[in-house]
Structure 1
Amino acid sequence: MDERMADLAYSAGWTLVRRSPERAGRAVFQRLADRAWRTHNDGTRGLERNLRRLVGPHATDSQLRALSKAGMRSYMRYYYEMFRLPAMGREHILANTRQRGVEVLEEHVRSGRGVVAALPHMGNWDHAGAWIAARGTPLTTVAQRLSPESLFQRFTAYRESLGMEVLPLTGGAANTVGTLARRLREGGLVCLLADRDINGTGLEVDFFGEKARMPSGPAALALNTGAALMPVSLWYDGPRWNIRIHDEIPVAAEGTRTRRIQDTTQELARVFEGAIARHPEDWHMLQPVFSADHDADRARRREIEAATWHGLEQRR
């Protein structure tokens, strides 16, 4: 799908889904999930590569496929709810959410201590942001810049409509990291997805028995500002959303600054590992996380670039 078509598709989604009967809309998105799973498309294969690390080498292919089917249904539920959330309403969101640990987070914010909430790609993170905002705690988050710019602006407007301040990961007029630090020093809440290295500068950690790459931002912000670093896990339970705000991870006290960030990020990965293992079908990770997959992706890109260059040379 090219950029213009993607923009039109998302625009149509936000317009049509909120106007359609909920039961019919959910059924459509489940059929889309099952179709992607049956055709074993790139996304499904990426999900299965990640889930294979969770279930281990002794799980059968049929067991892995059953888990990936549930995973794709959960993933497409996220997309349905993304389009539907602006029409759900505050009371519906609050009434259908079960939580554990929010009182500690809110007490930190009330006392003037900032909180870095670090989340894996589980459940519905947009809902989690809307839910905490509906409880009266504003938040700041970061969004990966998308192409075309109009699509990025749609996502920004959508999340802002749910009560979030949204900063671009790259290409913004202001210093995003500096703004996040300022929000935390002011006693605010910053929410960051933290289980995937997007820009290639992440740290290598142990994760499900392998090396994986995760961003250093949450640990670095906690170290620099004194904010509480609190992991958050999300999952579905029938029609309800579940949110668990885990105990604070203290910033590692020993070693150099680099070592402290590394050790703190490793502890964050450990908490993510336990949460994902309890609800693997709700981990929406279709992209490479593990270092071996990153290396394989880079090798494939080099092969494609080399083949393209060779083809150009042959035409000369």
Structure 2
Amino acid sequence: MWKYLLIWSCVRLLGRLPTRVLYFLAAVAAVLTYLFAWRLRRNVLDNMRHVMGPSTPKKEVRKAARQVFVNWAKAYADLVHMPRMDVSKFFDQKLAYHGLEENLLPALTDGRGVIITSAHFGNVEMGIQAFLGKGIKMTVLTEPIQPPRLSRLIDGLRSSKGHAFLPVGIGSIKTLLRTIKAGGVVGLMCDRDIEGRSIRVPFCGTPTSMPVGVVELANRTDATIVPIFIHRKNGSACEAFIEPPLELTNSGDPQADLETNVRSLLERFEAHLRRDPGQWTVLEAVWDAQEDEKP
């Protein structure tokens, strides 16, 4: 309950503050979390070592880990500010994008439905909202948070501008299928397994369990997968890289194809992740300890 009260209080008390003030408060919270939440710090340091490689100096790994916490806290600041966000103004003034006309708009008009996939990276919360300024609405699957009241609060904040954010469940999966069937747009993350379906594949050079939901949904519906990765820039600005649609392999071997296609999607994300590891705001350990212990 304390988490719910904290977020609710921040929305009520801090939501009207300018984003620069919210980001300052977020930076303070990030430093405190990094210093005192040792389990989270350990997780993030391990993630950064995998992403940056064993030859990276420890100083650089720690710097990236601290930046993860800062960007994670900024994401919550964005969430608190979201109900007061002007999406059209944000799209015009704060969002730089690449590939909209070449990659996304054609996919939206072919009638097959579109799966926009991204990661917990950069300014994804605000970046996705900004596409409403172009009239692009989507239904997004989210990870349920405990208690359920908190999950409803956060998804309500995310949905306040026009998108629909739904926690994973049978009902929300049916909603995704109906949306795609109608030629609409849905959103799924590719870097965290929230649907309970995963496969072990190499990621940043080391095998780990990664979600298959994006690929399985595309196989089931024939929807087009469009990866979008949104880098946080100065202040609340962001830069969206809208990638070419993912071409799925179909060799007749479903399991092999699933692995190949998941790996292809993750390779798209890896290219952005290695450019700026500190923007990956995942605080859970992504790689298994036992994998690291293998000779």
**TM-score (structure 1 length as normaliser):** 0.86
Q: 2: CA distance between counterparts of 1:129 and 1:147?
A: 24
For residues 1-316 of structure 1, the aligned pairs below 5 Å read 4-39=1-36, 41-94=38-91, 95-103=93-101, 104-170=103-169, 174=171, 176-198=172-194, 200-239=196-235, 240-292=237-289
Structure showing greater Rg? 1
> What residue identity is the alignment partner of 2:282?
M
Deviation at 1:117, TM superposition (A): 1.2
Once the two structures are superposed, what CA deviation does each residue of 1:47-96 show, in whole Å capped at 9, x if it has no partner? Answer: 11101012211222222111112221111111111111221212331110
> Contact conserved, 1:197 with 1:289, CA < 8 A, in 2?
no
Once the two structures are superposed, what CA deviation does each residue of 1:85-121 show, in whole Å capped at 9, x if it has no partner? Answer: 2212123311101111122212221232311111111
> Contact conserved, 2:122 with 2:231, CA < 8 A, in 1?
yes
Greater Cα shift, 21-30 or 205-214: 21-30
> What residue identity is the alignment partner of 1:27?
F
> What residue identity is the alignment partner of 1:166?
F
Q: 1: CA distance between counterparts of 2:258 and 2:31?
A: 40
Q: 1: CA distance between counterparts of 2:45 and 2:9?
A: 30
Deviation at 1:267, TM superposition (A): 0.5
Aligned residue pairs total 290
User: How many percent identity over aligned positions?
Assistant: 24
Q: 2: CA distance between counterparts of 1:21 and 1:155?
A: 20
> Contact conserved, 1:53 with 1:208, CA < 8 A, in 2?
yes
> What residue identity is the alignment partner of 1:35?
L
> Contact conserved, 1:123 with 1:236, CA < 8 A, in 2?
yes
Deviation at 1:156, TM superposition (A): 2.2
> Contact conserved, 2:88 with 2:130, CA < 8 A, in 1?
no
Q: 1: CA distance between counterparts of 2:32 and 2:146?
A: 26
**TM-score (structure 2 length as normaliser):** 0.91
Greater Cα shift, 264-273 or 248-257: 248-257
> What residue identity is the alignment partner of 1:202?
S
* 1:184 counterpart SS class: helix
Q: 2: CA distance between counterparts of 1:179 and 1:153?
A: 17
Residue equivalent to 1:308? none
